[in-house]
Structure 1
């Protein structure tokens, strides 16, 4: 039996979940944005899938490797667990055409604004595309979502109140599921 399609939130990483300090990759330097943990916990309680889609061009640039990215993601999970929150999956695009690591120094459809990571996640997980959204802090995040056929919400990188945005989206989602009996 196939798992039923679920509402899904795609999240950019740097600037949305963690403070973007410029190529963050060391667990000891991890700082979550102020509302990331409560927002993700709220999504988990609501039964949503939470999937991170993140460009990590520091890998292509030779600044750190994929193992460092995995360690950073493990640290994010540990920090979120302290707040009864979790990410269901991380999708990483380690590519950049100006990179110095040959195998990653390419333009790749996974690299946002390409939709590759989102489309892969939709193939791998029981995502309901009619109840999916991407929250990001850059135009490339929004463009990737549009190319994947889902809506997006631009968060201000200055205030990045993910929890407020998630609350509004969940209210809209609940409202869409309720039949309109007012006519």
Structure 2
């Protein structure tokens, strides 16, 4: 039987679950799942894993969209995910633009600390996979013991080219490839 610490998976949103844009995803119409990503989340759920999303959403403070629009995007994701038999246990987001006045915007650890508290983890993310497409998605979580996984969707290829990834970062073509690898390794 799995304990709480090892049945949780943390995913970034933009570039991991849905297509990303340098101009931000600002509307429900712009939110489009990466092919296979929703099915991948459903496979994790079916294998008894909880999926949590941890995402920077500075477009809110930039007034590109509001919290109601963000919630509508997430509702679209939930509906599409449910068609595949999947669900997300929680979404943590940071709407701040100025990192100096914020403790939660990745790569800072505030949202990850919120995850630890919400899921009653033992003060860290020891061994919990964190999947992102940028360095900032991984570094804060790794400071708390998470296992880093980079996907090459979104900004992932550029992130890999720039280098500086945390040691032992596993690299996967996309979220589907991560899930296939992860579930095979857990058998």
* Aligned residue number for residue 24 of structure 2: 23
- Contact 2:9-2:52 within 8 A present in 1 as well: yes
Q: Alpha carbon RMSD of aligned pairs, Å?
A: 2.1
Deviation of the 1:173 alpha carbon = 3.2
| TM-score w.r.t. length of structure 2 | 0.80
**Per-residue displacement from partner, 1:66-87 (whole Å, max 9, x unpaired)?**
1211111111111111211111
Distance 1:48 1:127 in 2: 15
User: Residue 152 of structure 1: which of 133, 148, 154 is its match?
Assistant: 148
Deviation of the 1:106 alpha carbon = 5.0
- Contact 1:131-1:173 within 8 A present in 2 as well: no
Q: Which portions of structure 1, spanning 4 or more consecutive aligned residues, are displaced by more than 3 angstroms?
A: 126-131
Does residue 125 in structure 1 map to residue 125 in structure 2?
A: no
Deviation of the 1:131 alpha carbon = 4.3
* Aligned residue number for residue 163 of structure 1: 176
Distance 2:38 2:84 in 1: 6
* Aligned residue number for residue 42 of structure 1: 43
Unaligned runs of 5+ in 2: 158-172
3-state secondary structure, aligned to 2:186: helix
Unaligned runs of 5+ in 1: 98-104, 175-183
- Contact 1:8-1:50 within 8 A present in 2 as well: yes
* Aligned residue number for residue 133 of structure 2: 137
- Contact 1:9-1:50 within 8 A present in 2 as well: yes
Relative distance call for 1:172 and 1:126 in structure 2 (3 A) is farther
**Equivalent residues, number:** 165
